[in-house]
Amino acid sequence: MEIFRPSEKTIRILQQLALAAGLFAFILCILILVNFYQLKRVDPLNSPAMKVMIERLNNHPEDEQLKQEIRELDLLARKAFFANRWQIKTGGYLLAFSLLIVVISLKTIELWRIKHPEIPMSKPGSFWDQRMLNMRWVTYSGIGLIAISFLVAYLSHQQLGEQMDRMGLKPAQLAEEQPFQQLNTSASDSNLLTGKDSLAAADSLVSEAQGAIPTQKEINENFPAFRGIGGNGTSFHKNIPTKWDGKSGKNIKWKTAIPLPGFNSPVIWGNKVFLTGANTTKKEVYCFDLENGKILWITPIANIPGSPAGAPKVNGETGYSAPTVATDGRRVYAIFANGDLAALDMDGKVVWSKNLGQPKNHYGHSSSLLVYQDLLLVQYDQSGNGAVMAFNSLTGKQAWKTARDVKISWASPILVNTGSRMELILLAEPYMISYNPSNGKELWRVDCISGEVGPSAAYADGIAFSVNDYSKLAAVKVGTPNSILWENDEYLSDIPSPVANSKYVFLPTSYGMMVCYDAKTGNKYWEKDFGTPTYSSPMLVDGKVFQLDKKGVMHIFSPDKAYQSISEPQLGEGSVCTPAFSEGRIIIRGDKHLYCISN
């Protein structure tokens, strides 16, 4: 078959056509590059003339002529913009078309031009030489790649890994963490430890699960704050003793003197019990061995930058270390009457500390601390500039701060799971206010309280309870919208906090009364006069209510419609603090000693 052979003239024409099209494409590229460069320098939407005219319009909003001028300018700018778009599109197509002509021309020439294969002049290279050369350069490339990788890894060292190591985060473990559980004060948790090995298992659990954030399981196994889990007067522990005698030593496992006084309550994590003590010159954090009561360490809290030189003026019934510590099993956190706030690791070493400013509080600061995930929550209501704050538990850096338009409060916050979210609930005249503990945003508030507020709120089954002397007991339906379900002012408390479950709310009074109301309706079921003043808050644990009076008598009764006393053991020493619970144990701070009660 005879192949078409174009003449040399035809080939020259194609070459000239390719050259012309190529030159045209080159010019187009130059123009596009110039336009692109100019675009980077200018912002057409913010032209100075438009800005000037808009500013004039703001000063003279009724100038119709100016409005018309702006509209005309805007229309012109839009036309210019769309003209540019057309230019870009058309230029792109012209560029593509011209390049296509170049390619077609050159490819046609290539196809038509006869190319005879030729024997290369040089001898073929040695196969083995080429192979060895290739192998050497593959090796060199490999070595170079490793060197470059090491260099890149060194130069681009990230903080993320270090930060996570410091926080104890283990990625593989994090993925297995369970979501936050619904707190149920009446149901028995199947994960609770039982038997004599509970402490050993708890220690093992603590050592194995030392992530930066405590899991809900860990929290349920321990007693991390004032009034237990979330500060709400409950814990999940079982086998709590109901009989002991301080005088005879019956069921008193150990008794240890506390170096400095304080009205804060014990907190337990693993086999460690934490307290603080303070006087006008010293502030200390204590750690006791849960098994034998020995003091494991004492850490003085001093020399904090910004800490005031003199001791604050406090009431004798508040003292210099009324707030109870909080812990997450990684660190223990303490606050004192002068505003000193410190975080210590579990061996007593100060991790971080700061001063929040001496609070303007005529009785002395007494709001206890709470921990939520990696945040330390601080209620800091004072005379003016009241606030609730959160600090990063690892670093002490303030995570959020929300100002509070309330009066001084001596109540402690509670942290509850209302089913749909976590809520941080605070009491102070005149409001009960709920916050998002993650970011400090207010969720809702109710005007329901007055006076100098000392009792903390109680929560159960969607209802929060507030009470104060010379005010009233109120049941608030939480959430948005919220409402006051019922109120009662027959019996009131000024220091101890109420405790509630889904059926009842138990209200202690500082003069020794205990009253039981229906949680939903406010109907009073019974009242009982213990005859002794009470500053300790009741605890609802192991299916019983534990109420410690000032003389050290523990009134234990059933949480029922009718009062039914179980026992009334005596400590043999006065107490104003709320007890802490562990499996099979009660830890009570007396006036001068720390007691461990166990069967």
Residues 110-169 that bind another protein (CB under 8 A): 110-111, 117-120, 124-128, 130-135, 137-139, 141-142, 145-146, 149-150, 152-153, 156-161, 163-164, 167, 169
Site for another protein in 537-576 (CB under 8 A): none
Buried b (16+ CB within 10 A) or exposed e, 241-256: bbebebeeeebbbbbb
Buried b (16+ CB within 10 A) or exposed e, 496-508: bbbbbbebbbbbb
CA distances 349 to 146, 330, 558, 570, Å, are: 42, 12, 42, 36
- Smallest gap from Cβ 345 to another protein, in A, equals 17
- Confirm if 331 and 344 have CB atoms less than 8 A apart: yes
Q: Which residues have C-beta within 8 Å of that of residue 63, sequence separation ≥ 6?
A: 56, 57
CA 425 – CA 437 distance, rounded (Å): 9
- Confirm if 283 and 336 have CB atoms less than 8 A apart: yes
Nearer to another protein, 425 or 474 (CB): 425
- Smallest gap from Cβ 164 to another protein, in A, equals 6
Nearer to another protein, 111 or 309 (CB): 111
Site for another protein in 295-354 (CB under 8 A): none
Phi, psi of 515, rounded to the nearest 5 degrees = -125, 140
- Smallest gap from Cβ 109 to another protein, in A, equals 9
> How does DSSP assign 451-509, residue by residue?
SSB-SPPEEETTEEEE--TTS-EEEEE-SSS-EEEEEE-SS--SSSPPEE-SSEEEEE-
- Smallest gap from Cβ 582 to another protein, in A, equals 27
Nearer to another protein, 435 or 517 (CB): 435
- Smallest gap from Cβ 270 to another protein, in A, equals 21
* 28 touches another protein by CB under 8 A: no
Q: How many residues bind another protein (CB under 8 A)?
A: 88
Binding mask 88-107 for another protein (x = CB under 8 A): x--xxx--x------x--xx
Strands lying side by side in the sheet with 499-500: 499-500, 504-508, 513-518, 524-529
Among 17, 212, 302, 485, binds another protein (CB under 8 A): 212
Nearer to another protein, 180 or 526 (CB): 180
Nearer to another protein, 141 or 599 (CB): 141
Nearer to another protein, 279 or 392 (CB): 392
Among 51, 54, 60, 74, binds another protein (CB under 8 A): 74
Binding mask 168-187 for another protein (x = CB under 8 A): -xxxx-xx------------
Helix axes 8-41, 64-112, angle to 10 degrees: 150
Among 87, 188, 191, 558, binds another protein (CB under 8 A): 87
- What residues does 581 pair with on adjacent strands? 586
Among 13, 19, 54, 83, binds another protein (CB under 8 A): 83
- Smallest gap from Cβ 146 to another protein, in A, equals 6
Site for another protein in 31-50 (CB under 8 A): 32, 35-36, 38-39, 42-45, 47, 49
- Smallest gap from Cβ 254 to another protein, in A, equals 37
CA distances 463 to 200, 203, 370, 478, 523, Å, are: 37, 35, 20, 6, 15
Nearer to another protein, 147 or 187 (CB): 147
CA distances 302 to 307, 324, 332, 355, 395, Å, are: 8, 18, 16, 10, 18
Site for another protein in 434-473 (CB under 8 A): 436, 438-439, 441
CA 79 – CA 85 distance, rounded (Å): 10
- Smallest gap from Cβ 333 to another protein, in A, equals 16
- Smallest gap from Cβ 159 to another protein, in A, equals 5
Question: Alpha helix (H) ranges present in 193-256?
Answer: 198-208, 216-221
Binding mask 377-406 for another protein (x = CB under 8 A): ---------------x--x-x-x-------
* 487 touches another protein by CB under 8 A: no
* 374 touches another protein by CB under 8 A: yes
Nearer to another protein, 58 or 281 (CB): 58
> How does DSSP assign 420-443, residue by residue?
SSEEEEEEETTEEEEE-TTT--EE
Nearer to another protein, 138 or 257 (CB): 138
CA 559 – CA 565 distance, rounded (Å): 10
Nearer to another protein, 167 or 484 (CB): 167
- DSSP code, position 229: G
- Smallest gap from Cβ 124 to another protein, in A, equals 5
Helix (H, G, I), strand (E, B) or coil at 79: helix
Q: Which of 82, 83, 77 is nearest to 45 (CA)?
A: 77
- Smallest gap from Cβ 356 to another protein, in A, equals 19
* 80 touches another protein by CB under 8 A: yes
- Smallest gap from Cβ 174 to another protein, in A, equals 5
H helices then E strands: how many in the chain?
A: 8, 32
Which tokens sit at 569? 């053991």
